[in-house]
Amino acid sequence: MAQADDVLDLARRLIAAESVTPARGAVFDVMESMLAPLGFDVHRFVRGEGAEGGDEAPVENLFALREGPAGSRHFAFAGHLDVVPPGGGWASDAFEPEVRGDLLYGRGAVDMKGAIACMVAAAASVPQDAGTVSFIITGDEEGPALHGTRALIDYMGRAGVRPDLCLVGEPTSVNRLGDMMKIGRRGSVNIWIEVEGVQGHVAYPHLADNPITRLVAILAELAAIALDEGTDWFQPSNLEITDLSVGNRAHNVIPAHAEARISIRFNDRHSGASLAELVADVAEKHGGRAKPVISGEPFLTPPGEFSEIVAQAVEAETGITPEASTSGGTSDARFLRAVCPVIEFGLVNATMHKTDEAVAIADLATLSRIYTRIALAALTQHKTA
């Protein structure tokens, strides 16, 4: 495979298959058509509504495996084919990939169809006798992530498949390709707070019970809490108020109900459960109640064999050493870390989720070579305990 030209073609084919989350169908047809000729056994399945009786929209997932010699190492590429809605204002159609100058434009160019194209190009350059290679690809990363990577992990468990190392292709680079890799992420919990009151006329407050007053007290107490000062590898945890709603259209009525939502991104000094309990205690003290939804726990792949493999590959192709970081939002690495050590590394993230998302064509070629080096090194080094 002539990587410079072919990886661009692969990226264009993936972008052209519209796949606003939750993704299914055509974009997975394209992915399968790329992997099957490389010797991968491709398994696709759908979860969600119409699949197993769930209420959510159906989601498609793909697991592809190319087995190496018996007892060989197993290296996994992981990522997502779903994308966020394009929005308006694009200079060209978001799902008609277009090359302008040195850039390829299209929704998913950076996050993360471009990286998946690089993974496919890399797999084509890794001999089958080097070891086992797999692809863990979901259509539900940009959405609720209920029927995506977690379903793939369940499938691998039933099939008795367990990678030794896994690379997620999220766009981790900041200013130039290769300047950052993610060796962990903070956890995430969203909590809905509700307070019930008694509706009444504002001129007769003694006959009513204003829930807004108590909700404000809850939020003020929560906002004043300093959760921690950070750790060696994680920035400080932060609690943010993300919504406040009463819905009262009358100026002379004390409402009967008020609610708010908070989001906490937290490091390994906490768990989702401990923070949910903290918020519930504060809410109950003021007569409210809290409902948490834990999106993920913090995790860290300690610096060592895997991070050295990634760093050496990046240095060989770019001449720079990537910073090992745990900054940013969540990704499906929060699920995959339960299977094996996981690191995220990918393209420059400056245009992800934006209008006119674009990737440097040269970066696609370079990233495919980096991924090839990572896969070969991961498959040939001694098996981790």
Residue 125: give its domain's CATH number.
3.40.630.10
Query: Per residue in 3-36, pLDDT tens?
Result: 555 999 999 999 999 999 999 999 999 999 999 9
Annotated catalytic, 281? Answer: no
pLDDT at residue 329 in the model: 87
pLDDT at residue 49 in the model: 66
- Give yes or no: residues 46 and 119 share one domain: yes
Strand-strand pairing, 200-201 and 253-254: antiparallel
Contact of 17 with 106, CB cutoff 8 Å = no
Instruction: Compute the distance between CA of residue 329 and CA of residue 188 in angstroms, rounded to an integer.
Output: 8
Token pair of 293, please? 């939804």
Catalytic residue selected from 60, 82, 268, 297? 82
- Give yes or no: residues 125 and 175 share one domain: yes
Query: Per residue in 133-158, pLDDT tens?
Result: 999 999 999 988 989 999 999 999 99
- Give yes or no: residues 193 and 90 share one domain: no
Query: Per residue in 186-225, pLDDT tens?
Result: 999 999 999 999 999 999 999 999 999 999 999 999 999 9
- Give yes or no: residues 13 and 111 share one domain: yes
Contact of 255 with 211, CB cutoff 8 Å = yes
Q: Is the dihedral of CA 171, 177, 183, 188 positive or negative?
A: negative
Residue after which a domain boundary falls, among 249, 280, 296: 296
**Count of structural domains, the chain:** 2
pLDDT at residue 357 in the model: 98
Annotated catalytic, 141? Answer: yes
Asked, for residue 347, whether it belongs to a domain, the answer is: yes
- Give yes or no: residues 116 and 236 share one domain: no
- Give yes or no: residues 195 and 138 share one domain: no
State the pLDDT confidence band at 384, using cuts at 50, 70 and 90.
very low
- Give yes or no: residues 171 and 283 share one domain: no
Residue after which a domain boundary falls, among 296, 317, 336: 296
Q: Which amino acid is at 300?
A: L
pLDDT at residue 381 in the model: 80
Lowest-pLDDT choice from 41-50, 69-78, 261-270, 332-341: 41-50
- Give yes or no: residues 43 and 165 share one domain: yes
Asked, for residue 385, whether it belongs to a domain, the answer is: no
Residue 48 to residues 29, 78, 159: CA-CA distances in angstroms?
19, 21, 21
pLDDT at residue 57 in the model: 82
- Give yes or no: residues 222 and 351 share one domain: no
pLDDT at residue 4 in the model: 52
Contact of 139 with 24, CB cutoff 8 Å = yes
- Give yes or no: residues 307 and 362 share one domain: yes
Residue 129 to residues 308, 309, 372, 379: CA-CA distances in angstroms?
23, 20, 14, 10
- Give yes or no: residues 292 and 329 share one domain: no
Asked, for residue 268, whether it belongs to a domain, the answer is: yes
> What is the DSSP annotation of 180-218?
EEESEE-EEEEEEEEEE-B-EETT-GGGSB-HHHHHHHH
Q: Which residues are annotated as a binding site?
A: 80, 111, 142, 170, 353
State the pLDDT confidence band at 55, using cuts at 50, 70 and 90.
low
pTM for the model stands at 0.90
Residue after which a domain boundary falls, among 265, 296, 327: 296
| Containing structural domain, residue 83 | 3-185+298-380
- Here the CATH number for the domain that contains residue 266 is 3.30.70.360
Asked, for residue 228, whether it belongs to a domain, the answer is: yes
Q: Which residues are annotated as a binding site for Zn(2+)?
A: 80, 111, 142, 170, 353
Asked, for residue 350, whether it belongs to a domain, the answer is: yes
Asked, for residue 77, whether it belongs to a domain, the answer is: yes
Is 383's pLDDT higher than 60?
A: no
- Give yes or no: residues 148 and 248 share one domain: no
Is 185's pLDDT higher than 50?
A: yes
- Please provide the average confidence, as pLDDT, over all residues in the chain: 95
Asked, for residue 11, whether it belongs to a domain, the answer is: yes
Query: Per residue in 250-293, pLDDT tens?
Result: 999 999 999 999 999 999 999 999 999 999 999 999 999 999 99
Catalytic residue selected from 60, 140, 141, 268? 141
pLDDT at residue 113 in the model: 98
Asked, for residue 15, whether it belongs to a domain, the answer is: yes
